[in-house]
Structure formats: C-alpha cells, structure tokens
Structure 1
Amino acid sequence: MKIRELIKYSLNPRIVEDASLPVGYIRNAYYNGVGRYVCQLQRLTIKFCKSSHTSSGVRDYIENGLLNFSRQNPGVAIYMKPRLHRTPVIVTEYLNGHYQWMSVRNFTKTELEMWMETLRSRSGYEISQLISNNNVLTPSVQGIWNPFLNRPTHLNGKTFPIEEQSKFIPELDSATKQLLDMIKQNNLTDMDELNKRDTQKQE
C-alpha cells in the first residue's frame, strides 16, 4: 500500500494537537472492560450511490468485506441506504448518544476496512487535546483536605472559637523562653549542690 493512502487513516499528531479541538482528558465508558467488554458502537449506516464512481470503493467493500465485519460484530446494527448521485458517507451511533459523520468519497476497500475498525473501537467521545496523559476520577483516596481533617472527635460538640485551640504554637521557642529555661535549669543545679552539701555535713 502507498504511504499517501496510509496517511488518510493514520492518527496524525498534528490532527490531535490541533488548536481548534476541544481540551479535555481521556474519556471512556465507566468500567467498560473491567468485567465484560461492551462495544460502544451500536448502529452503523452506510450511504452510497449505486452508479457513481466516487462510491466504487464503498460498493466493493459492501460486496467483499461487510459480511465479515457483521459476523465479527454481531452487536452492531448495520444499515445500507442507496442514494443516487450523492457523496458516500458513513454515520455511526454510540451508546453514549453521540454520533460520527464521515465522508468516504473516493475511498478504497482497504481504507474502508481500516476506518471501519477505527470507528468500531472508538468510545464515541470527540477527539480532543489532552491536558495530561494521566487522570483519575477520584484525586485522593482519603478525600479532599479540610481544616477539620484528622482532628479529635470531641471537638465536634464544642462551639468555636476555642481559646485553647486558637493559641499560636511556634515551631521554635522564643529567646525569652529559652533564657527562662536556662535560669530554671541553673537554679535546679544549684539546689542539687546545696542538698548534697547538707547531706555531707549531716554525715
């Protein structure tokens, strides 16, 4: 197959990063594939012309490839709608209510096979620019942080503000408190020495 034919149905990064596309995260049907996989494509309509040259590839695919596609995907309802002198199109409808309209003018049978597989495996959501490659439905297992998280439960019945809980507790002691602690420690050592002397005199 020629390279210019592959480009038509390849996922080009320039298309995905187009500024005109909406911005969002990767979206898919919730929990689809965790247990039983459910194909999101439910209805596929092929509109073509019986005599136009632009629909020759579509007619070839209907005669030689559509039967295999329907056997492999029994859950997809396929409709064919002949229209005289109209551009061939494919309309797909998904479980989430969205539908995709695509023109297949002058497409070959091989291109149609590739595009049919792409449309079948899609979730139905629009292609959008990715804000991030990673996304979770629940940002945190323990929940969003709030000021009362991990607080003692006895505070639930009290009226705020509480004077004891409202006091500012610095990480480091102030210089005044450090000096007072030093004086207190020196006084204790002096008292210990006096007590030792008294015991020695009594002996």
Structure 2
Amino acid sequence: MSNSHLFLKSGFIRTPSQNGVGRYVCQLQRVVLKFCKNNGSSRGMRDFIETELVDFAKNNPGIVVYLKPRRHRTAVISAEFLNGEKQWISCRNLTKEEITKWLTLLKTQSGNHQGLRLRKLIHTDHPSIQGPWTPYTFKDPAENIVEYPNKELSKARILHKTATEELLEIFNRQAEDPENRRVE
C-alpha cells in the first residue's frame, strides 16, 4: 500500500450547487498562455495563437485570456478557476490541436479534483465487496430492452393498492358505519 496519499490535500468535492439547473456557469475564470517567440518547443502554441485564439475568445466570452511571451522557456497553459484553484499544463512540443483539446478540457472542469484525496462522510471497517445498493440492483434485466410505454409491465407493477385507494376504502367504511370510527 502506498503512502503517497498522505501528502495530498484532503477534502470533500465541493461543486457549485446546482450548476446547470437554471443556467450553466463556466468555472474557468482566467487562462494565461505562456510561450517563447523563438523556441521550437513553443511552435504549437504560436500556431494556436495565430490561428485559433481569436475564435476561442469569441466562443468563450466569460474566460479571460492573457498572452505572456517569455524568453527561452517552454510553453505553458496556466488556468485559474472561480473557486481559487490553479492548474498549469506543460505544452512542450504540442500541436495546436492538442492545445485546443487541453483548453476544452480545462473549460469543462471545476478545478476541484486535481491532487485532492477524496474523503467520504461514512466509514466502515468491513466494506462490502458487492458495492453499494442502488434502486436498480434487483431490477429485472429484461426491462432494458423493452420499449416504453408497455402495457404488460404497467399491469405487472400494480401488485398492491395505492395509498389513495387504501384511504378511500377506510373513509367509505367509516361513512357506512358511523359508530365504528376506529382505523384498522
């Protein structure tokens, strides 16, 4: 067993509550593209800046994009998120298509999961090897290939009376026999 998890920050996943329910808020706040004007390892970054940066900035008006030329350094993407987290990606010898993919990935992330040892609210000394229970655990596999709505499955699901039907029957019994008001 490795002890590398001891050096990671620990915490719970904190995401913006209900992000995307009303409207989606991109969590990427700022991107700094650092590159060298002459170095060969920054060629992909320079190509991206010349051809695709303007389109990226127009398509993502909520993301601030900075360019930072540096002498004799390798290309780097530095990203800052709304929660204050920062990430950087080395772009040494990457093509402009690969840089576009990295920026798309950063745009869709929340910034919380990099180097975070996830903690759980529950703990057990004897964890189950079968996994947690879900509502689909004991569901009939034949239902996966059925087209819905299905009359046969609808009839099969009504095994018991509904709560409303039970209450109506109790009410009718009480109305018929006013002396016996006791609920069974």
Identify unmatched segments of 5+ residues in structure 1: 1-17, 136-203
Equivalent residue number for residue 37 of structure 1: 24
Equivalent residue number for residue 115 of structure 1: 102
> What is the TM-score of this pair, normalised by structure 2?
0.56
Distance of 2:104 and 2:31 partners within structure 1: 12
Note closer, same or farther for the CA distance 1:61–1:130 as it changes in structure 2 (3 Å cut).
same
| % identical aligned pairs | 48
Q: 1:21·1:127 contact (CA, 8 Å) conserved in 2?
A: no
Q: 1:50·1:59 contact (CA, 8 Å) conserved in 2?
A: yes
Q: Structure 1, residues 62-89: CA drift from partner, whole Å, max 9, x if none?
A: 1111111111100111000001111111
1:126 paired residue among 113, 119, 130: 113
Query: Does 2:86 correspond to 1:95?
Result: no
The structure richer in helix per residue is 1
Shift of 1:108: 0.7
Aligned residue for 2:106, secondary structure, equals: helix
Partner amino acid, structure 1, of 2:95: T
Partner amino acid, structure 2, of 1:46: L
Q: 1:24·1:128 contact (CA, 8 Å) conserved in 2?
A: no
Distance of 1:129 and 1:80 partners within structure 2: 29
1:8-87 equivalences in 2 (<5 Å): 26-87=13-74
Aligned residue for 2:58, secondary structure, equals: helix
Equivalent residue number for residue 185 of structure 1: none
Distance of 2:102 and 2:68 partners within structure 1: 19
Q: 2:31·2:79 contact (CA, 8 Å) conserved in 1?
A: yes
Aligned residue pair count: 119
Identify unmatched segments of 5+ residues in structure 2: 123-184
Q: CA RMSD in A?
A: 2.6
Larger radius of gyration: 1
